[in-house]
Structure 1
Amino acid sequence: MHNKPIKIATDKFTIDGVKNFMLESKLDDQIMIVTLTNGKTNSITRETLEQLKDCVDKTNQDKEIKGIILTGQNRFFSSGFDLYTFMGFNNRDEAIEFLGFADKVFLDLFICSKPVICAMNGHAAAGGLILAMASDYRLITDHPKIKVGMSEIKIGVPLSVAQSAIMRFGLDSDKKFRDLMYFGDMMDVTTAHQKGIVDELLAPENLINRAKELVKMWIDTPARPFCRLKEELKMETARMIRRRMADTDWQKALDCFFDKQVKDTLAFVQSTME
């Protein structure tokens, strides 16, 4: 199979290998390549999350699909969540519904039964970096202008339950998590590589080929032991996420979206991206 379009039909959209809403999806060498395509910065909307969930579900269900490569278009991998979404919450219930759904999609990606490689073609910030951390391995284009980081603390928005746990798992260190989240600095790709935030720096023309090579290396083995190894590696973190989502009052933190300073900061940041 090579460059075979796929169709994932729902009551809202169809993914069939052409640009459609917030991402593109195609099968290439039996690997699902998912490209974020929303505007200049590939921000993450509700539609992005719905389509990504369908891609993960399709990968889990179809034995012929070997894994997922997650990438972006143009100069960004992803700037994170669409700030208009955050500014548009009318009440806490709307924020709870959106962030609760986002957490479920991040968790689905985190525990996808097949290899997930994040091939960051450009800048990765906030929710974009969380998508990368939910993946099994992170590649990034080696370019001095590309920046990586988490700016939430500077705009007044905390991480949710799943987001925090996935970031901590990916960083493999409470200290790395502290430094990345508390300071909110954006770093170049060389620094990100030195800190273990990304696994490999590559020329842009090699990014997708290397990602495909990794997927095939891990899945094209007798009985596919990678799948069980991944399940064992991530099982406890996934259980903790589900438990905390069910048992803790994480919703209180979402009142931040109705703070005037936060709203003004979100509006300012959005204006710099347009």
Structure 2
Amino acid sequence: MLETQIEDQTLIATLVNGKTNAITRKTLDRLKAAVEQVKTDETIKGLVLTGSGRFFSSGFDLNTFMGFETLDQAVKFITYADEVLLDLFLCPKPVVCAMNGHSAAGGLILAMASDYRIITDHPKIKVGMSEIKIGVPLSPAQSAVMRFGLDSDKRFRDVMYFGEMIDVKTALDREMVDKIVPADELIKTAKAIVSLWIDTPARPFCRLKEELRMETGSHIRARLEDTGWHHALDCFSKKEVRDTLAFVQSTME
């Protein structure tokens, strides 16, 4: 789920779903609507994406993945998720991710689609990508967004291939996040970044962002039109992957 409210002319979108804020189809629907609202409402300066409780987000809802009975079902869901991710990535106004807690898998991908990532200063918070350990690849949009956010083939390699969950200070050192702040300053800091970037004459930020992200956005669109990657999603029908997904889901309940 995704709850939204306006604070200081900034749309605050909060992931709310159980203990881990897993991303469902309904979450994607509401995120798409939130991005559209930010784009079309001139009074809104930008978007702050955050979570509730101890998690920003654990990623996609694993029960959804285990519910795929055919390759076509997997393709439809992931394609839609990629389209929403592309909308977020190309939102013309500032998007700041306020990572209030653990951020993994699809949660980290949403963070990487943002323009700036702020995380709560807490020794127990972990950040990372575990897909390689459970047998699930990234889609074209997910891969491109992660690569753009990490801004380095080497950092992409290290994050994706090792599948480590790291603490916030290590995440800052590896440039996965931009700033660490106390919990009570998280949203305030995120809103300040939005205002700093957008509150200038004629809002040149919007054009600068468009130029910065245009090439990656075009690449994602082209890859989504190419169905050659669909076969990779047959992983969801493999017993070893489904067993791993079920085990991981059981640890989160």
| TM-score interval (norm. to shorter) | over 0.9
**In the alignment, what sits opposite 1:86?**
65
Hey, what's the Cα distance between the residues in 2 that align with 1:66 and 1:192? 28
Q: Distance in 2 between matches of 1:92 and 1:173?
A: 32
Cα distance between partner residues in 2 of 1:180 and 1:270: 22
State the superposition RMSD in angstroms. Answer: 0.5
Instruction: Give the AA of the match of 2:52.
Output: Q
What is the one-letter code of the residue matched to 2:219?
Answer: M
Aligned length in residues: 253
1:196 and 2:195 equivalent?
Answer: no
Instruction: Give the match for residue 91 of structure 2.
Output: 112
Once the two structures are TM-superposed, the CA of residue 105 in structure 1 deviates from its matched residue by: 0.4
1:133 aligns with 2:100: no
Question: 1:23 & 1:176 partners in 2: Cα distance?
Answer: 30
Q: Give 1:170's aligned residue.
A: 149
Once residues 143 and 227 of structure 1 are traced to their aligned partners in structure 2, the CA distance between those partners, rounded to angstroms, is 33
In 2, distance between residues paired with 1:235 and 1:23? 27
Shift of 1:69: 0.2
Q: Which residue of 1 aligns with 2:35?
A: 56
2:15 aligned with 1:36: yes
**In 2, Cα distance between the equivalents of 1:242 and 1:65?**
27
- Cα distance in structure 2, aligned partners of 1:92 and 1:57: 30
1:272 equivalent in alignment to 2:238: no
Deviation at 1:54, TM superposition (A): 0.2
1:241 paired with 2:220, answer yes
1 CA distance for matches of 2:2 and 2:93?
A: 20
Give percent identity, aligned residues only: 68
Question: Which of 225, 242, 251 is residue 263 of structure 1 equivalent to?
Answer: 242
Letter in 2 for 1:266: L
Q: TM-score, normalised by structure 2?
A: 0.99
Are 1:66 and 2:78 matched, yes or no? no
Q: CA deviation at 1:247?
A: 2.4
Q: Which residue of 2 aligns with 1:223?
A: 202
Measured in 2, the distance between the counterparts of 1:95 and 1:39 equals 23
Counterpart residue number, 1:99:
78
Q: Give the TM-score normalised by structure 1.
A: 0.92
Bigger RCO of structures 1 and 2 (CA < 8 A, at least 6 apart): 2
In the alignment, structure 2 segments of 5+ residues that lack a partner are none
Question: Which of the numbers 218, 232, 237 marks the counterpart of 2:211?
Answer: 232
Partners of 1:115 and 1:87 lie apart in 2 by 35
Q: Give the AA of the match of 1:267.
A: A
Query: In structure 2, what is the Cα distance between the partners aligned to 1:101 and 1:126?
Result: 17
Per-residue deviation, 1:248? 4.7
For 1:177 and 1:61, locate their aligned partners in 2 and report how far apart those are by CA, in whole Å.
33
